[in-house]
């Protein structure tokens, strides 16, 4: 099952959440539990996906002021 989650409607961060399995609860386990993901989260207010991509380009170029 796939769920689309929109965070910050101004910057329009759209996340696709893939539910691969629903397990029986384990006693004394803390929930919810994230078992995977990609990259670190971008900083707040960086301009949405295009702004974050621009920030990554700037950080990858040491000569960029």
Res. 51 pLDDT band, cuts 50 70 90: very high
Domain extent listing, the chain = 1-21+42-65
| pLDDT tens column, 2-29 | 999 999 888 989 989 888 888 898 999 8
| pLDDT tens column, 28-37 | 988 887 777 7
pTM of the model: 0.60
Asked whether the beta carbons of 10 and 47 are under 8 A apart, the reply is no
Helix (H) or strand (E) run with residue 56 in it = helix 48-60
Q: What is the DSSP letter of 32?
A: S
């Amino acid at each position: 099952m796939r769920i689309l989650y929109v965070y910050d409607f101004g910057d329009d961060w759209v996340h696709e959440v893939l539910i691969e399995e629903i397990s029986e609860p384990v006693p004394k386990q803390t929930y919810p539990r994230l078992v995977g993901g990609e990259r670190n989260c971008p900083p707040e207010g960086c301009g949405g996906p295009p702004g974050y991509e621009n920030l990554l380009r700037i950080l990858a170029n040491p000569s960029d002021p």
